[in-house]
Amino acid sequence: MAQAETIEIVSFAAGACRFAVEAQQVEALLSDGPQTLVAVESLLGLPLLETAARPCLRLGKYRVSVNEPIDLRSLSVDSIYPLPEPVALRIQIKGVRALVLEAHGAMLLLDLRGLLAG
């Protein structure tokens, strides 16, 4: 039987919501380093509620702080969808590339590198 097509993602939390980014965008999981520190909430346009030290994802010259749990896992492409047009037009979160629907809920797939470059 053919295996389901998958991509590798890194998922994390911000606020009360789950987000993910393609694993190829993330170089490492860090707690400290010389890279410029950026809170993921500030990239996405969400309020920053967390002020304690958090784990970071290294993306080039940046460390992006996120909330746990952080998972590196395979995601079936069957659970990835383009954003419906009304959502794409009205969503206020920046850098959203796609929607992930799984049994336990929805997750937004982000382009963090694009946001950092912009």
Identify the residue among 34, 47, 105, 118 touching another protein (CB under 8 A): 105
DSSP 23: G
From 75, 39, 35, select the one nearest 54 (Cα to Cα): 39
C-alpha 22/C-alpha 75 separation (Å) is 10
Say whether residue 112 binds another protein (CB under 8 A).
no
Written as six digits, the tokens of 22 are 């393609």
Say whether residue 3 binds another protein (CB under 8 A).
no
C-alpha 52/C-alpha 85 separation (Å) is 37
Among residues 44 and 64, whose Cβ is nearest to another protein? 44
Among residues 28 and 81, whose Cβ is nearest to another protein? 81
Residues of this chain that bind another protein (CB under 8 A): 5, 7, 15-17, 22, 24, 44-46, 77, 80-87, 89-93, 96-99, 101, 105-106, 108-109
